Amino acid sequence: MKPMESDPPSDAPPFDVPPFDERAYDLLAPAGEAVPLLIDSPHSGRVYPEDFVTQVPALVLRGAEDWMVDDLVGAAPQTGATLLAARFPRAYIDPNRRLDDVDPQLIDGTWPEPLNPGPKSALGIGLFRHRTNDGKPLLAGPMSVAGLRNRIERCWWPYRRTLHDTLDRLHARHGAVWHIDMHSMKSFGTAITPDGPGAERPDMVIGDLESESCDPAFTAFIAERLAALGYSVSVNTPYKGAEIIRSCGRPAENRHSLQIEMKRNLYMDEATITANGGYEKLKADLSTLIADVAAWTREAKAA
C-alpha cells in the first residue's frame, strides 16, 4: 500500500506511523486511567493498496474517505478513551459492511459462501465500493475471488477482530462499555445516499438503529452535548447506523454503540479535500465532547 497525498492541516495527525507494514489499523491506548469508552474511525483510512486499480481520478476516489476523522478525534486517548482507526480506505474494503453484502455479478468466479447483497450493494457501496458518489462505475470490471479474499483477510478481519476484542476487554474490566463509531458525510445527499441528490443535512446525525444499539440515554446525552456546542442534530435521519454498531451494540449486556456522522463542510472543502477554516473549531469541539462522554461513562459505570 502507499499513502495518498492527504493535504493535512498544519498540525500533523496523531498517528506517527512508518511506511505501510501490513498493519490494517492504528490502536491508541488511553493516556492515564482508562475509561470504558472506545472511539473508532473505520472510514478515514488513506493508505491505498498497490493492487487497487480504479478508473476514476484520485479526487473522485478520495471522496469516499471520511477525510481526517481520525485526526479530528485524535485527542480521545487523553481523556482515557481508546481510539481505533483504519489505515486502509473503505473503497478497498468496508469494515462497516457484512461479509456477504456483495453482488455476485461483481465477482469473477464463484464465491465459496452464500451471498446476501442488501441495499448498500444495490447503491454500489457494499463490502467493496464499485460506484462513485454520483453513481458512476468505480472499477473496470469484476473482482477475482482471490482478490476479494485477500482484502478480507488483509484488512476487514484484522479491523473487526480488534474492534470486538477491545470492546470485550473494556467490558470485562468495567462491567460496561460505550462505543462511538465516527464518520463524516457529504453536506448534501447524493445519488447513492438514503436522502437522495441535493438533500441538505444537519451538522450532526446520530444513529442508534432506532434505539436498538444503545441505551436511549446515551443517544440523548450525545445529542444534548452537540446541541450545546452549537450544532444542529438529527437522530436516525438520514443515517441510522450500519453493521459496526449492529454487531457491537447490545444494551441489555451493558454494551452501548452509536454512530455519529459529521457534515463535511464543517471542516473541509469537499471539492479539493483540504481543511477549511472550521477544522480547528470542530477538532476542539470534538475533544470537548469526548471528554464529556468519558466523564459520563465514569458516572454511569459507578451508578
**Stretch among 65-69, 189-193, 203-207, 291-295 having the lowest mean pLDDT:** 189-193
- What pLDDT band is residue 18 in, cutting at 50, 70 and 90? very low
H/E element, 281: helix 279-302
- Distance, in Å, from the CA atom of 258 to the CA atom of 213, rounded to the nearest integer, reads 7
- Distance, in Å, from the CA atom of 214 to the CA atom of 249, rounded to the nearest integer, reads 6
- What pLDDT band is residue 198 in, cutting at 50, 70 and 90? confident
Domains for the chain: give ranges and CATH numbers.
2-302 (3.40.630.40)
Burial of residue 99, with CB atoms counted within 10 A of its CB: 0-12 exposed, 13-18 middle, 19 or more buried? middle
pLDDT for 19 beyond 70? no
Average pLDDT over residues 205-221: 98
Q: Of all residues in the chain, what percent carry a pLDDT higher than 70?
A: 92
Averaged confidence pLDDT in the chain: 90
Taking the CA atoms of residue 174, residue 301, residue 206 and residue 237 in that order, the dihedral angle to the nearest 10 degrees is 110
Average pLDDT over residues 1-30: 52
